[in-house]
């Protein structure tokens, strides 16, 4: 299976505030996003942070089981994360707001896929004739 590490450039728009919150919490625990330490979290796809904030521990665990993120030393990752008391920092009202923003502001949906495909890939015969 080929994976791509998603950098901070991957996170933009409405999820950037959520990304900064997650990065701050992880940094307090000594964990870097896509870092090289064995306890760092490495993303294999987008949506991990939104899923973790929207669904809590279960969302983070399910995202791991789905292969969306990894860490060489899961025990150390969770030890560091829980040691920070991060559950005190995560407010349910804020999580609901982020979950709603992630759901409703995501412009990547089935309705738009045809339009986006036409704009990006229907380049016409003139393009290919040169």
* Predicted local confidence at residue 13, as pLDDT: 46
pTM of the model: 0.59
- Could you tell me which of 91, 73, 89, 84 has the C-alpha nearest to residue 28? 84
- Altogether, the residues listed in the chain come to a count of 130
Q: What digits encode the pLDDT tens for the residues 80-92?
A: 988 887 665 555 5
DSSP assignments along 55-83, one per residue:
HHHHHHHHHHHTTSEE-S-HHHHHHHHHH
| Cβ contact 44:68 at 8 Å | yes
Q: What digits encode the pLDDT tens for the residues 107-127?
A: 666 777 777 777 767 777 777
Q: Which residue has the higher pLDDT, 33 or 121?
A: 33
Domain ranges of the chain: 8-129
Q: What digits encode the pLDDT tens for the residues 44-97?
A: 988 888 888 777 788 888 999 999 999 999 999 989 988 887 665 555 566 667
């Amino acid at each position: 299976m080929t994976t791509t590490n998603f950098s901070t450039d991957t996170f933009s728009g409405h999820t950037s505030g959520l990304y900064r919150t997650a990065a701050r919490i992880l940094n307090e625990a000594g964990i870097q996003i896509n870092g090289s330490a064995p306890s760092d979290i490495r993303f294999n796809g987008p949506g991990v942070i939104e899923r973790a904030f929207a669904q809590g521990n279960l969302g983070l665990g399910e995202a791991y089981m789905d292969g969306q993120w990894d860490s060489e030393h899961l025990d150390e990752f969770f030890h560091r994360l829980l040691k920070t008391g991060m559950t005190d920092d995560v407010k349910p009202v804020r999580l609901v707001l982020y979950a709603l923003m992630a759901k409703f502001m995501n412009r990547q949906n089935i309705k738009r896929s045809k339009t986006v495909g036409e704009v990006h890939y229907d380049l016409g015969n003139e393009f290919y004739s040169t």
